[in-house]
Amino acid sequence: MQKIVLLLIICLLLTGCKNKTREFQVKGIIEENHNDIVGIHYPITGIKILDKQIEQYIFNTKKTFDKQVPKELSLKLPSELNIDYEYWKVGDNYHNIVLTTFINSPNLAHPISEVKTFVYDSLKNKFLVLSDIAHLNVSIIKRGLLDKYKDCIFIEKLEAVFSQMEGLKFTFTKDAITLYFNPYEIASSSCGIIKYEFPYSDFKIPIELKENTTKTFEYHPTIKKLSIERPTIALTFDDGPSKYTKEIVKLLEKYETNATFFVLGNKVKNYNETLQFVLEHGNEIGNHSYNHKQLTRLSLNELKEQVEKTNNIVKDTLNYDIRLLRPTYGAINDTLKNNINMEIVLWNVDTLDWKLKNSKVIAKKALSDIKDGKIVLMHDIYKSTLGALKIILPELHKQGYQIVTVSELKEIQKLRNEAKNR
């Protein structure tokens, strides 16, 4: 009996003996101030020591960035910090995390790009170095790097880096190892961050091979009766999904309402189940970029990547075609308008929930600004937003409001115009 209890406790500690496809949390920090915009996403794995290291890295990077932000106000271009993540497991216990940082500021001659990796074994409770997982033939790897990056590589730096193997940044999958180098580490900045992947079968560690099973989902919008007479608004949620999204959907359902969720591509896979729940309850999904970079500052290729990567990932995981785009920070330019073939949706009621973070204050602001035909901006990543909805929804319900998705609002506006012209 004691053994069973102990096993159960170990299972609980390791999170997920029962449910291996459990969603981990993605922490999102999105801020917009006078001189700086910040978009940060990183995983909360539930492994204390690992999460602490990740948060420490984020904290230090943010501190470096804050020093770069110019003090004088009203500059044309704000400074931007963007940190994005990749997180995957090999077997049940090898956690691979890559954090990619991008900093741009008027104080810098060139934007800064930086990569950081963590590989953690949650069975042995330790961070791994490359020599823990494989015996490598260093000269073959060096030759490979020299061949691939011959135009930008610094040979002396390459030698120096491989003389201290413990410091190498790496990740692995069941059949390949990837090495990561920051600009100037082994090559000039013209090659950017170097990601060098090579196939590998001779791992030192036992790797349990498991196929990931993903559930597919067919989208069937719920057919609702929409009235063109009732005052109508569209509620929209940006920057999610998050652990609050499901609660928000349940609350919406309680008042027979629907909303549009503008999601970030880098969260879709992890919140697959949440997004299925969103769709199954008649809500709409829109695109809010891949990792919240400001779209108007990107090259055309980067811009397309931010948009298409999100559309594709939603299509692949949910079998859903996204039609709507909400640009990050509401920023639009001609490149965006002329090259992205999607309907751009902004807002005309800003609840400032990301800033106010107090349910009552958010609700008061929203309720005083809401009028028929408005598109309301909120964020499903804050508990205070969920709290505000608990005040807003019953009040609007009492006032006879109909709360719909963006596409439904457009449909109602079309029907109203047709009725007027008849």
Compute how many other C-beta atoms are within 10 angstroms of the C-beta atom of residue 67: 8
Please state the closest distance from residue 384 (CB atom) to Zn ion, in A: 16
Contact stretch for Zn ion (CB under 5 A) within 150-158, 185-193, 238-246, 365-373: 238-246
Six-digit token string for 310: 């999100």
- Are the C-beta atoms of 376 and 234 separated by less than 8 Å? yes
The single-letter code of the amino acid at 52 is K
Q: For residue 220, is it left (φ>0), alpha (ψ between -120 and 50) or beta?
A: beta
Six-digit token string for 143: 């030759």
Please state the closest distance from residue 381 (CB atom) to Zn ion, in A: 9
Please state the closest distance from residue 260 (CB atom) to Zn ion, in A: 13
User: ∠ CA(100), CA(194), CA(110), 5° rounding?
Assistant: 65
* Residue 238 binds to Zn ion (criterion: CB under 5 A): yes
- Are the C-beta atoms of 229 and 255 separated by less than 8 Å? no
146-205 positions binding Zn ion, by CB under 5 A: none
CA distance 251 to 390: 8
Please state the closest distance from residue 382 (CB atom) to Zn ion, in A: 12
Residue closer to Zn ion (CB basis): 386 or 396: 386
Which residues have CB under 8 Å from 210's CB, separation 6+?
91
CA distance 117 to 98: 5
Six-digit token string for 98: 């890559």
Please state the closest distance from residue 20 (CB atom) to Zn ion, in A: 31
Residue closer to Zn ion (CB basis): 116 or 267: 267
Please state the closest distance from residue 264 (CB atom) to Zn ion, in A: 8
Six-digit token string for 52: 């602490």
Residue closer to Zn ion (CB basis): 40 or 186: 40
| Strands of 169-172's sheet in order across | 169-172, 176-181, 194-199
Contact stretch for Zn ion (CB under 5 A) within 73-81, 147-155, 231-239, 356-364: 231-239
Contact stretch for Zn ion (CB under 5 A) within 143-151, 175-183, 232-240, 331-339: 232-240
Residue closer to Zn ion (CB basis): 288 or 374: 288
Residues annotated catalytic, as ranges: 238, 379
Beta-carbon-side half-sphere exposure of residue 317 (alpha carbons within 13 Å):
21
Contact stretch for Zn ion (CB under 5 A) within 154-162, 233-241, 266-274, 358-366: 233-241
Helices 300-318 and 272-280, packing angle to 10 deg: 70
> How many residues make up the chain in this entry?
422
Contact stretch for Zn ion (CB under 5 A) within 113-121, 168-176, 239-247, 383-391: 239-247
| Strands of 79-90's sheet in order across | 25-32, 36-44, 79-90, 94-104, 112-121, 126-127
Paired sense of beta strands 343-344 and 324-325, if any: parallel
Residue closer to Zn ion (CB basis): 238 or 380: 238
Q: How many chain residues bind Zn ion (CB under 5 A)? A: 2
Please state the closest distance from residue 266 (CB atom) to Zn ion, in A: 12
H helical segments located in 80-195: 130-133, 138-148, 155-163
* Residue 239 binds to Zn ion (criterion: CB under 5 A): yes
Residue closer to Zn ion (CB basis): 282 or 286: 286
Closest-by-Cβ residue to Zn ion is 238
Six-digit token string for 262: 């503008």
Residue closer to Zn ion (CB basis): 26 or 115: 26
Residues of this chain that interact with Zn ion (CB under 5 A) are 238-239
